[in-house]
Amino acid sequence: MKLNLCLIVALYLALDVCVWHGPMERFARQQLSAPPAATVHGQVITEGDLDQAVQADCFRRGVNLPALDDTTREEIRKQVLGKMVDGALVRAARLADTSPRQSTKGVDEELRLFIKQFPDEADFPERLALQHLTEAGLRERMQASLDDLAWINKQIEPQLAKVTDGEARAWFAKHQAKLIVPESFHAAHVFLSGHEKDKSDREPEIRALHRQLLTIATTLEQLSAIASDDERSKVRGGDLGWFTRQRMPADFMAGVTSLSPGQHSKPEQTTLGWHIIKLIEKKPARIPAFEEVHDEVLEMLRHQQREAAVKALMVRLRG
């Protein structure tokens, strides 16, 4: 099992700054007058390194860095610096470890996922060139990071005990109220968009369709297949499947919750347009049975155990 993405990214950052002397390190050399942000086993992480890493971290998470207030920016800098220091400590410890090493694989998959993050994968060679990298060089870096992760796994393995069903049941008994499955609804609709440029008033159309539903031997499913503007649901007779309140706009849900199963609504106007809604079924909120969440609880407990072991390892390396 791999570590979370944040630590993987931190390892890549530390790899570039402290070992491979990559683009961020070259950028940092242009700012020799800047004081170091941190020094790890003789390897300097400069403020320039940190600036670049913060920008990369915010870009990856979709955060608009210039729009943040000073307090938030400083908090992000501290977090990113901590990850960089952790990555550099892991790298230094692994390189100093003389015990037999496990072989690691997976560079092809890592590279595939890395390339996939670009909007146009054809841009990948150009991006590499801008960073003064080759694909072989990137593979080498990825292999080193995988080696780091394998070393961490080896270090924490003795602390990872098997999580038992008994422990999972005990956690479930204590926290089951937090696992409540919300009320859910199964509905279908006929929809006419309110944003058609050449159809500014759709109310006469939706009312005509509603009259057909009431007076002619036709069903909502048939009307939706013929007249609905919702291309995704009309092929299923307007069926929207199961959903909760949180997944639908509030004005649409007001129409849904006013119905009993089997009922059709009158024409309902929302910010999106006009609807005729049919409530097919609904299920009340409930606490799931342990068997339903068994695997998730076990995985969550394993993750917590692993996270604690990694934190303990980093405390030891920092000490």
Which CATH number is 41's domain given? 1.10.4030.10
Q: Are residues 12 and 130 in the same domain?
A: yes
Q: Are residues 127 and 267 in the same domain?
A: no
Q: Are residues 33 and 144 in the same domain?
A: yes
Q: What is the pLDDT of residue 204?
A: 96
Q: What is the pLDDT of residue 12?
A: 47
pLDDT in tens, 232-244: 999 999 999 999 9
Q: Are residues 131 and 202 in the same domain?
A: no
Q: What's the pLDDT band for 305 if we cut at 50, 70, 90? A: very high
Q: Are residues 129 and 232 in the same domain?
A: no
Q: Are residues 188 and 126 in the same domain?
A: no
Q: What's the pLDDT band for 266 if we cut at 50, 70, 90? A: very high
Mean pLDDT of 287-295: 95
Q: Please tell me the least confidently modeled range out of 122-126, 237-241, 297-301.
A: 122-126
Q: What is the pLDDT of residue 101?
A: 72
Q: How far apart are CA 102 and CA 147, in angstroms?
A: 8
Q: Are residues 150 and 217 in the same domain?
A: no
Q: How far is CA 255 from CA 8, 97, 202, 231, 250, in A?
A: 46, 65, 18, 21, 9
Q: How far is CA 179 from CA 169, 175, 176, 184, 192, in A?
A: 13, 7, 5, 15, 37
Q: Are residues 50 and 196 in the same domain?
A: no
Q: Pick the residue with more confidence: 223 or 12?
A: 223
Q: Domain for residue 208, yes or no?
A: yes
CATH of the domain at 220: 3.10.50.40
CA-wise closest residue to 56 among 123, 138, 117: 117
Query: How many structural domains compose the chain?
Result: 2
Q: Are residues 151 and 270 in the same domain?
A: no
Q: What is the pLDDT of residue 274?
A: 97
Q: What is the pLDDT of residue 211?
A: 95
Q: How far apart are CA 256 and CA 282, in angstroms?
A: 10
Residue 26 structural domain:
5-159
